């Protein structure tokens, strides 16, 4: 187990009676990008959402097993989920900026967590937008609605929003699958930038994307991890036949 | 018969039925307005009714209706919002929640005369509030509160799940997520629903006959002390509303122009409810633009 970083041990997730994640153990190191790949319905999103206990918000979901972060099992019922979620950011498939101004989208989280000083907030907003390579496009319209941005810009805004509360890990569920190729390239570039500071777990259906952005790759199949290894190894010389079949598009 | 003909016949039938409904509604509205509008004047809207002479107005009744509505909303909006938020965001699905929902549904479709009688027995007599605006407001709460709960619950349920999750994922509490992210998105719908529900309350008569009463004391519109018995603002005085007034002069009016007064008052009632409807839509759209900050 990593001292720092995030690791899941024997994680199981049930939707009612149905077991969607069947005992998964994975370690995510700091400053590394891990890609989760696998056919539709194999449980990638379910697994990702259990890492920040977002599945708690769905009725009838039960999660067993351990998730370790900073020496604490965050799947323990006694853990304060509200505080926990600040440490683990999340980005969704469809961009979901708040129905607020660009500025507010970023400032909203930090302000809630205690940053009240206007100058400090301004600095956070600028810093996050710069990190998300969005500053030049938005600096003249910070107080306009975030909904007026393009889809790609909205998604980068959502990434900027998530880093504004200083998480350690960022979970991304197919963050580029609703975007055009140029925006996709920008988001991928951004991921490579962000990995200097954060550990990133990204779900993707795009094999090239996984190969481009990730350091490690986990192949999920029917609620289990079939293979977890360095990305180069997975894509050039996988140990499991199922992985090979999936990567080369022989089943989907 | 091929698909195209079937489609044409179905379309024609639907258009036919829809036009019939529109025609009936337009006829009804036209009839009420045609009979009543000529009688509406500033004097009619502001002067007091006359018992045996012609030329009475509906001033106090109009005021009573609006004031009663205001009192009702003061009771139902906070309770309805609270209960709606609870039902949508906190209640665990299960038998208890389902039965609360059922009670709410049943309550909102209770026959109004039954609610009126219940009000007479419990609020007016047992609790001793007498025939008063307050008793009337409580009776109207029986219809209005369930609507408010449902409006709030459904508009919160209508907020995209990702909006809520985005806020939770930033480490915000559930309550902060509701008040800062979800309610702003839901507010236009809640406001529209509230105004529409207010229209129903505004026209209610049967539930008020035995609760708010069928008469008003002589009101002194220069006396704004809510504790004084002749003050229009006193919530514990009896108050005849517009709808009750229409019912009363139609059944026992002695003034020679009773029919015209009833027609005029009906037109005022209908116009006010229409105003509610249009303003609800306009205001809802306005708020939506404000809150989502789209141009
Ligand atoms: N809210 C839910 N209620 C019940 N079952 C669910 C729910 N969400 C997902 N599932 C089931 O859990 C399994 C895993 O779903 P999940 O969404 O995690 O798959 P995924 O790998 O993310 O798929 P995709 O690539 O299509 O996004 C599926 O069989 C799905 O039907
Ligand atoms: Mg998914």
* Closest ligand to residue A60's CA: 1
Give pLDDT, residue B293.
Answer: 59
Instruction: List, for residues A151-208, the tens digit of each pLDDT value.
Output: 999 999 999 999 999 999 999 999 988 888 888 998 899 899 898 989 999 999 999 9
Contacts of A52 in chain B (CB under 8 A): 169
Give pLDDT, residue B174.
Answer: 92
Q: How far is B148 from chain A (nearest CA, A)?
A: 24
Alpha helices in chain A (DSSP H): 44-51, 81-87, 102-112, 118-131, 135-138, 151-163, 181-194, 207-213, 231-236, 241-247
B7 assigned to some structural domain? no
Task: Please give the radius of gyration of chain A, using alpha carbons only, rounded to the nearest integer.
Answer: 18
B166 lies within 8 A of chain A by CB: yes
With a 6 A CB cut-off, is A46 part of the ligand 1 pocket? yes
* Average pLDDT for runs of 10 along chain B of length 295: 88 95 92 84 79 77 89 93 93 86 85 87 83 88 90 94 94 93 91 87 85 77 75 80 85 79 87 88 83 58
Handedness of CA B232, B238, B243, B244 (dihedral sign): negative
B80 assigned to some structural domain? yes
Instruction: List, for residues A77-119, the tens digit of each pLDDT value.
Output: 888 888 889 999 999 999 999 999 999 999 999 999 989 999 9
Q: What distance in Å separates the CA atoms of residue B233 and residue B70, rounded to the nearest whole number?
A: 11
| CA closest to A171 among chain B residues | B169
In 3D space, the residue among B252, B253, B198 whose CA is nearest the CA of residue B56 turns out to be B253
B10 assigned to some structural domain? no
B2 assigned to some structural domain? no
Say which residues have a Cβ less than 8 Å from residue B217's Cβ, sequence separation at least 6: B229, B230, B237, B238
Give pLDDT, residue A48.
Answer: 95
In 3D space, the residue among B185, B187, B186, B164 whose CA is nearest the CA of residue B176 turns out to be B164
For residue B258, the enclosing domain spans: 40-294
Is the pLDDT reported for residue A216 higher than 70?
yes
Cα–ligand 1 centroid distance for A57 (angstroms): 15
User: For an interface test with A, which of B157, B169, B175 has the most A Cβ atoms less than 10 Å from its Cβ?
Assistant: B169
Q: What distance in Å separates the CA atoms of residue B221 and residue B209, rounded to the nearest whole number?
A: 24
B29 assigned to some structural domain? no
Compare CB distances from A96 to B162, B176, B294 and report the shortest one's residue. B162
Do the Cβ atoms of A54 and B168 come within 8 Å? yes
Instruction: List, for residues A5-64, the tens digit of each pLDDT value.
Output: 899 999 999 999 999 999 999 999 989 999 999 999 999 999 999 999 999 888 889 999
- Band the pLDDT of A67: cuts 50, 70, 90: very high
Run of H or E residues at A91: strand A88-91
Ligand 1 atom closest to Cα of residue A223: 14
Give pLDDT, residue B76.
Answer: 92
| C-beta of residue A172 within 8 angstroms of C-beta of residue A91 | yes
Q: What distance in Å separates the CA atoms of residue A164 and residue A121, rounded to the nearest whole number?
A: 10
Do the Cβ atoms of B291 and A99 come within 8 Å? yes
Give pLDDT, residue A2.
Answer: 45
| C-beta of residue B246 within 8 angstroms of C-beta of residue B205 | yes
Q: Could you count the other beta carbons within 10 Å of the beta carbon of residue A16? A: 10
Is the pLDDT reported for residue A1 higher than 80?
no
CATH of the domain at B76: 1.10.3720.10
With a 6 A CB cut-off, is A83 part of the ligand 1 pocket? no
How many domains does one find in chain B? 1
Average pLDDT over chain A reads: 91
Instruction: List, for residues A227-240, the tens digit of each pLDDT value.
Output: 999 999 999 988 88
| CA closest to B160 among chain A residues | A96
Run of H or E residues at B102: helix B95-108
Ligand 1 atom closest to Cα of residue A46: 18
A151 lies within 8 A of chain B by CB: no
* Closest ligand to residue A46's CA: 1
Going along chain A from its start, the domains and CATH numbers come out as 6-98+167-247 (3.40.50.300)
| C-beta of residue A89 within 8 angstroms of C-beta of residue A163 | yes
* Closest ligand to residue A40's CA: 1
């Amino acid at each position: 187990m990593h001292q720092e970083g995030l690791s899941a041990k024997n994680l199981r997730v049930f939707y009612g009676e149905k077991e969607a994640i069947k005992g998964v153990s994975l370690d995510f190191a700091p400053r590394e990008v891990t890609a989760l790949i696998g056919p539709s319905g194999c449980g990638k999103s379910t697994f990702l959402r259990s890492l920040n206990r977002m599945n708690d918000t769905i009725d009838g979901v039960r999660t067993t097993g351990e998730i370790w972060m900073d020496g604490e099992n965050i799947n323990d019922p006694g853990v304060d989920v509200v505080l926990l979620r600040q440490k683990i950011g999340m980005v969704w498939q469809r961009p979901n900026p708040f129905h607020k101004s660009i500025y507010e989208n970023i400032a909203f989280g930090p302000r809630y967590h205690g940053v009240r000083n206007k100058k400090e907030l301004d600095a956070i907003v600028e810093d996050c937008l710069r990190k998300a390579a969005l500053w030049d496009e938005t600096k003249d319209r910070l107080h306009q609605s975030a909904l007026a941005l393009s889809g790609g810009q909205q998604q980068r805004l959502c990434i900027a929003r998530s880093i504004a509360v200083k998480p350690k890990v960022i979970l991304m569920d197919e963050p580029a699958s609703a975007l055009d190729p140029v925006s996709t390239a920008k988001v991928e570039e951004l991921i490579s930038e962000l990995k200097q500071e954060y550990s990133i777990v990204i779900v993707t259906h795009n094999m090239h994307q996984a190969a481009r952005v990730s350091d490690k790759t986990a192949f999920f199949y029917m609620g289990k991890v079939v293979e977890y290894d360095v990305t180069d190894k997975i894509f050039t010389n996988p140990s499991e036949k199922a992985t090979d079949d999936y990567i080369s598009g022989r089943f989907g | 018969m091929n698909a195209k003909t079937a489609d044409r016949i179905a379309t024609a039938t639907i258009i036919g039925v829809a036009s019939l409904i529109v025609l009936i509604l337009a006829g009804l509205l036209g009839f009420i307005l045609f009979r009543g509008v000529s009688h509406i004047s500033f004097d009619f809207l502001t002067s007091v009714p006359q018992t045996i002479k012609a030329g009475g107005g509906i001033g106090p009744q109009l005021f009573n209706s609006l004031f009663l509505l205001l009192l009702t909303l003061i009771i139902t909006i906070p309770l309805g919002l609270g209960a709606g938020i609870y039902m949508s965001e906190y209640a665990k699905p299960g038998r208890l929640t389902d039965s609360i929902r059922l009670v709410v549904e049943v309550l909102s479709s209770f026959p109004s005369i039954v609610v009126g009688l219940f009000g007479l027995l419990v609020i007016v007599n047992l609790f001793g509030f007498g025939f008063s605006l307050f008793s009337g407001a409580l009776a109207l709460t029986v219809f209005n509160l369930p609507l408010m709960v449902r409006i709030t619950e459904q508009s919160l349920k209508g907020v995209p799940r990702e909006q809520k999750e985005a806020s939770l994922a930033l480490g915000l509490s559930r309550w902060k997520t509701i008040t800062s992210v979800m309610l702003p998105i839901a507010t236009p719908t809640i406001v529209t629903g509230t105004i529409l529900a207010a229209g129903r309350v505004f026209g209610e008569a049967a539930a008020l006959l035995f609760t708010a009463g069928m008469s008003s004391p002589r009101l002194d519109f220069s006396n704004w002390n809510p504790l004084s018995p002749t003050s229009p603002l006193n919530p514990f005085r009896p108050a005849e509303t517009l709808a009750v007034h229409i019912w009363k002069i139609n059944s026992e009016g002695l003034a020679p122009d009773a029919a015209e007064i009833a027609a005029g008052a009906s037109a005022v009632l209908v116009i006010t409810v229409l105003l509610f409807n249009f303003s609800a839509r306009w205001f809802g759209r306005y708020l939506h633009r404000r809150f989502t900050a789209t141009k």
